[in-house]
Amino acid sequence: MTPHILLITAGEWPAQKGLLFTQVYETACALQAKGHSVSWFASIPLLSYLKRLVLRDKDLEAIEAACRARGIAFTRAIVPVTLGSPFSMPFRRWWHSRLAHRALNLLRAQPATTAGTVLHARSYYAAEIGVLLRNLAHTDGRLATIASFDMRSFLGPESPMAHGVLGTAVYGFLKSMEYDLVKSSDLSFLPINVGRRQYREETGLDIRYAPIQGMEREDGWFVDFDHRWSAQRIGYSGSIGQWHDPALLRTIFELFPAFTPQLASQKIDAFEGLDCTLYKPSELASYYDGLLALVIPGLAVVDGYYRTLQMRCNLFSTKAAEALSRGVPLVVSSELQELADFVRAHDCGIVVDVQKGRPTLPRGLEINDSNLWRRLSEGATLVGARFTRQAVVEVYEQAWASALERRRASPSAAEN
């Protein structure tokens, strides 16, 4: 028998074009295809919910319908404050406790299984709900229940970038909360090895490595390099702004004058004159399959402690994982240490050196040589296999199986 998987999200809107679709719903489908029963508990801020009602946005209904069609039990709870905001801190624990009690009913509605239950939480606030729910489940007699914390990145340095002075003021609080969550969870995952090593040195706690999920490789898929080379398109995927500088992106494009930029992004003023198209999740694989390379720019000027920490120790882009899973080489900034180290180690792209906001290519690089791009494409195809959906799901499954075995061996272990 396989364990039941309850996926927990908090503070995010389940949008058809958002990460909760590709990283949660599609993960749920992959787990279900491997024999797991799966449910999803989503905590949604009231403000987001009201905004979507005013805009007549049907994303939530679409997600609910998709889950229904697959037999994935989807439960949503509307909360009065955005749990990711510093303003929610005084109410956080109280609301998380209420949400955990509500989610317990979702567990009780699932068929009993001796294989156990995994509470897999995406992000910090979801993880606190997961830890509280695990403790309730144990009190309820469901001893083979573990809390799995999918960190994705460190929240601490992101808060000052998103909330300015207020975010800086709560940085220490967030680091303390992070420590408590990692220590209390049965498992914690992070896709950033630089950050994992740093955290181990700071706290003595181990965080497991789990790659960000990219895309699946369908039967018969292969890299049509000749097509990519003849098209000579170089791309960028996703939004722009807080983590990635549009001016730097354009400057990097200019380093490859023979290639045509093609962006999977919304048209904005900063992209004037560039080919921009918004793709559905089901269309992104074809987009990547037509690219010679994908650019991950980061910021042109990295100043201050929090921005430096974010760029060097806290960023492995979801879009990088998607591109690699389709065998697309990366063009990345030297400031993005995790990505730059990865590209160099696996010969799957080009690292541009960014000094005073200006990127430069490595000396002696023949960027119009098809043999160079063929080699980089082969490197991306080889290493990109670890980012396919099935490969990432197996990383989680193996870790969950070990944690459940430890839980069964010590069912009376006390939670923090």
Neighbours of 354 (CB within 10 A): 25
> Does 23 score more than 80 pLDDT?
yes
Q: Is 204 helix (H, G, I), strand (E, B) or coil?
A: coil
pLDDT band at 398 (very low <50, low <70, confident <90, very high): very high
Q: What is the pLDDT of residue 257?
A: 95
Q: What is the pLDDT of residue 30?
A: 93
Domain 4-214+389-409: which topology? Rossmann fold (3.40.50)
pLDDT one-digit tens code per residue, 148-164: 999 988 888 888 877 78
pLDDT band at 280 (very low <50, low <70, confident <90, very high): confident
DSSP string, 136-159: HHHHTT--SEEEEEE--S-HHHHH
For residues 128 and 157, is the Cβ–Cβ distance under 8 A? Answer: no
Q: Could you tell me which of 407, 406, 397 has the C-alpha nearest to residue 134?
A: 407
Best-predicted range by mean pLDDT (120-134, 232-246, 291-305): 120-134
Q: What is the pLDDT of residue 414?
A: 43
pLDDT band at 413 (very low <50, low <70, confident <90, very high): low
Q: Rounded mean pLDDT of the chain?
A: 89
Sheet containing strand 208-209, strands side by side = 73-79, 38-45, 4-10, 117-122, 145-150, 187-190, 208-209
| CA pair distance 137, 100, nearest whole angstrom | 10
- What region does 384 belong to: left with phi over 0, alpha with psi -120 to 50, or beta? alpha
Q: Could you tell me which of 328, 335, 370, 366 has the C-alpha nearest to residue 349?
A: 328
pLDDT band at 276 (very low <50, low <70, confident <90, very high): very high
> Does 206 score more than 90 pLDDT?
yes
Q: What is the pLDDT of residue 87?
A: 62
Q: What is the pLDDT of residue 85?
A: 60
pLDDT one-digit tens code per residue, 235-265: 999 888 778 899 999 999 999 999 999 999 9
User: Would 4-214+389-409 and 225-386 be classified into the same CATH topology?
Assistant: yes
> Does 228 score more than 90 pLDDT?
yes
Q: Is 268 exposed, middle or buried (0-12, 13-18, 19+ CB in 10 A)?
A: middle
Task: Please state the rounded mean pLDDT for residues 271-289.
Answer: 91
What predicted TM-score, i.e. pTM, was given to this entire model? 0.90
Q: What is the pLDDT of residue 81?
A: 65
Q: What is the pLDDT of residue 213?
A: 92
- CATH no., domain 225-386: 3.40.50.2000
Residue type, 157: P
Q: What is the pLDDT of residue 412?
A: 60
Task: Please state the rounded mean pLDDT for residues 260-271.
Answer: 91
Q: What is the pLDDT of residue 290?
A: 96
pLDDT band at 226 (very low <50, low <70, confident <90, very high): very high
pLDDT one-digit tens code per residue, 325-345: 999 999 999 989 899 999 999
pLDDT one-digit tens code per residue, 60-105: 888 999 999 999 999 999 887 665 565 666 677 888 899 999 999 8
Secondary element (H or E) of residue 170? none
| CA pair distance 367, 323, nearest whole angstrom | 19
Residue with token string 């989610």: 103
Domain ranges of the chain: 4-214+389-409, 225-386
> Does 40 score more than 60 pLDDT?
yes
Q: What is the pLDDT of residue 416?
A: 45
pLDDT band at 386 (very low <50, low <70, confident <90, very high): very high
